[in-house]
Structure 1
């Protein structure tokens, strides 16, 4: 899962880097592994700064001052494929044709065929294992086919339309063409979110424009008229014009329901649905299920305690509906990142107790109902339950706002290995035993869907593949899932070599190669690349980071 942002200022004398940086900080919850900004200045020159780390660590006043230009795009990354190597920080860049910078949120499911096409037909080199770079090169190749000295909006729409026919999966993208403008488009199923907004300039003579993954960026930056980019739609923004075109029709609109459960900020509105209100509705629906199960088991609860921060809204509504006390029993250290999106099981486990501290007074000699947004690997839940028992809880009952997650996500959320999912192959009772709870209560899938859909009945379907194993794009079979799990498993991700020539990728490369190699040295003593250039990981565009 990633966060993307594009900004164009009507005034060509204004540098937008600081505002893009502020916007990325508002999207930091969507990715904490790496971030980057590329701006376009006079004469179409690009300026870049990107690196591993949080927004606050990568950008300072000095680095931002070097990012000259009145339009730019930014990205915060959380790796679902490939590695955490500095080379895979986005945005990506190609110099031909015309100079293109590209940032992407999502995941493609037909990568092997596309890589083969890039190698054998387009003759374009893919330098990393990121499908964002692959998408960029497909877009670039389609533009190249125009053969024009200068392109127009019609050429860009044609190129994106061809991309949508070629690529299968989830993708929300922003791009920037040197000296031309910014572009936003979304996959035909609308799985990943993307919206746009505008604001009048200070003099009122024109408008600034914004693309972002979530509406909170527009709210904080003074933009108005937020609207979602439609599934299969592309939007091209220049200083003189805004052009929109529906390029793909007839596909099922199915936004990812997990955005509302966990990923998005509560103050965002995605596809016309308030994330905050949807979580309120989840709490109301979960209250009914909790009451039914507790009555059936003849159990009582003394207090409702949320796992901060995502589940607070639902927990409060649940407590109010059941007439139970609501208490903040866990105090959060806000300087530790979101454990779900930390790469590596050991890292996630280690950070749970750094992140949360249980207040004994709220747990001692009580039957506690802990409300969480979801139970994925069970790492966080197990540690939290043990913390509650350590400070004196009599019984610990866990209520999840989401149904059991039993299947891989192939659209850009890091739940790849079914073996890592605590609910995979287990009953509810077995899940409770595994995480140490006295009882676990899950939201039902119909109730979860209704909680979101009631706020926008026009959305008839959601991507619920992590609960059902049904993938809206098709093309996901057991062979694909097995390959995905091999390349994304936690024990492989940390050893991935960027730019390697994996067996699926062909000569164009990118992906997992020689997972036995450590620090650029094979187990048999031979050398391998530790990055695309064995040093400066930036290819083709100067990176001003740490200058």
Structure 2
């Protein structure tokens, strides 16, 4: 997981603050680290560290980072990858100059490529995929940086949305299946690249279009050039972008995240009805679907759980201990609304099951008569190494237990998941998504489970 942003400035703006606010808007995509790199008259200056955006960038640092091209990154690490050394953007100097790179996604042949490069004498300072990409670009760069990137793209496999910065251009790349999102905006005459369109709204930019799967866009002298793959690939955007990852006020590949979640909630109500007094959500990622469920079912929507707005997202916390502690301080029950009532609790997904079991217990301890859990995604059955931080298969509760066993584990009175067909219908009806974590149908060859 990660969020990326880039800007090519011709209007002499303070781009570090634009990047800062853009990263703020993308903070939901990663909370372990943040970083910004800028081109200052041919010199790439940067700052990155562990922490949230506002923690990493005090005013004096933003004032130092001046230039006409810049990129930024927020990141979720996992396990031994949680380190300030692994924070992005990655900045490298090599024979042909300097390069900064930020990456959202995951390469499935990273280990193989790294081993080959190390055998040939390359020394790595991080254990992230981005350094493999940067080393390949440096190796292929003879006279044309764009051709070096294209040569690299022919070798790497997996999911990637990339923003790259040289001393004279900003480059954006999306993998051939479009598994991770990337879009183009304009702020006056300045071009901006971002993981999600919500960042454009935050900084006052205008959405232009999505980067197409397999497309590379090159921005130089504030002209934009598109280089598209000659091969034809099936578009396979990660469906979890619409379930959980993306902000509801974003649009991805022409589809509104908000409307897709609301429509999926309506379909969930039709597929999984329940007799109840109120519909509540597990905030915030389940809220839009809960509103849709209430609308279709005729059961009123109300608040049952109050979220501490200063706490992050427990699904993307890096350890189970942190996730469990996060639930304790993140949510509190609104006893006045739930006591003595039959509840429909709508959430986006169940991955490990521990968070949901704690929520159901909290609601029942507060006097809820019944808790009927409705999930706006199918059961997560398979692991993913295309950029979704799901655990090993044995830790995916739905892969090890039946629906009835999951219901018993979480303590709910009933449990029902939306069908994959219903979820896809809610997102527009056309299956242009990677659904591998549900049905093991990945867009590229993977070693899974």
TM-score category of the 2 structures, normalised to the smaller one: over 0.9
Alignment partners' CA distance in 2, 1:115 and 1:106: 17
1:8 aligned onto 2:8: yes
What is the count of residue pairs matched by the alignment? 448
Q: 1:232 aligns with which of 214, 217, 238?
A: 214
Matches within 5 A, 1:65-464: 65-80=63-78, 82-96=80-94, 97-121=96-120, 123-143=121-141, 146=142, 148=143, 155-178=144-167, 180-200=168-188, 207-291=189-273, 294=274, 300-454=275-429, 457=430, 460-464=431-435
Pick from 472, 494, 514: which aligns with 2:443? 472
Contact 1:81 1:130 in 2 (8 A): no
Aligned with 2:81: secondary structure? coil
Contact 2:74 2:88 in 1 (8 A): yes
Whether contact under 8 Å (2:171, 2:217) holds in the other structure is yes
The answer (yes or no) to whether the contact 2:21–2:202 under 8 Å persists in 1 is no
Distance 1:316 1:380 in 2: 21
Q: Could you report, residue by residue, the CA deviation over 1:30-65 in whole angstroms, capped at 9, with x for unpaired residues?
A: 0000000011112x1111111000001111211101
* Aligned counterparts of 2:222 and 2:320: Cα–Cα separation in 1: 49
1:450 Cα deviation (Å)? Answer: 1.2
Alignment RMSD (CA, Å) = 1.4
Aligned to 1:526: none
- Checking the alignment, whether the CA contact within 8 Å between 1:406 and 1:423 is kept in structure 2 is yes
| Alpha-carbon separation, structure 1, partners of 2:208 and 2:392 | 36
- Where 1:424 maps in the other structure, the secondary structure is helix
Tell me the TM-score normalized by structure 1. 0.80
Report the more deviating stretch, 166-175 or 317-326.
Answer: 317-326
Contact 2:31 2:75 in 1 (8 A): yes
Q: What is the CA-CA distance between 1:82 and the residue it aligns to?
A: 4.2
Give CA-to-partner distance per residue, 1:65-87, whole Å, 9 cap, x none.
11121210000000147421110
Query: Could you list the runs of 5+ residues in structure 1 that have no partner in the other structure?
Result: 149-154, 201-206, 295-299, 482-547
Higher relative contact order (Cα pairs below 8 Å, separated by 6+ residues): 1
Larger Rg: 1
**Could you list the per-position Cα deviations for residues 281-309 of structure 1 after superposition, in whole angstroms to 9, with x for gaps in the alignment?**
11111010122xx4xxxxx2111111111
1:26 paired residue number: 25
Q: Distance in 2 between matches of 1:185 and 1:82?
A: 27
Give the 3-state SS of the residue equivalent to 1:310 in structure 2.
coil
Q: Distance in 2 between matches of 1:157 and 1:217?
A: 26
Q: Greater strand percent: which structure?
A: 2
Runs of 5+ in structure 2 lacking a partner?
A: none
Question: What is the alpha-carbon distance in structure 2 between the residues aligned to residue 82 and residue 231 of structure 1?
Answer: 31
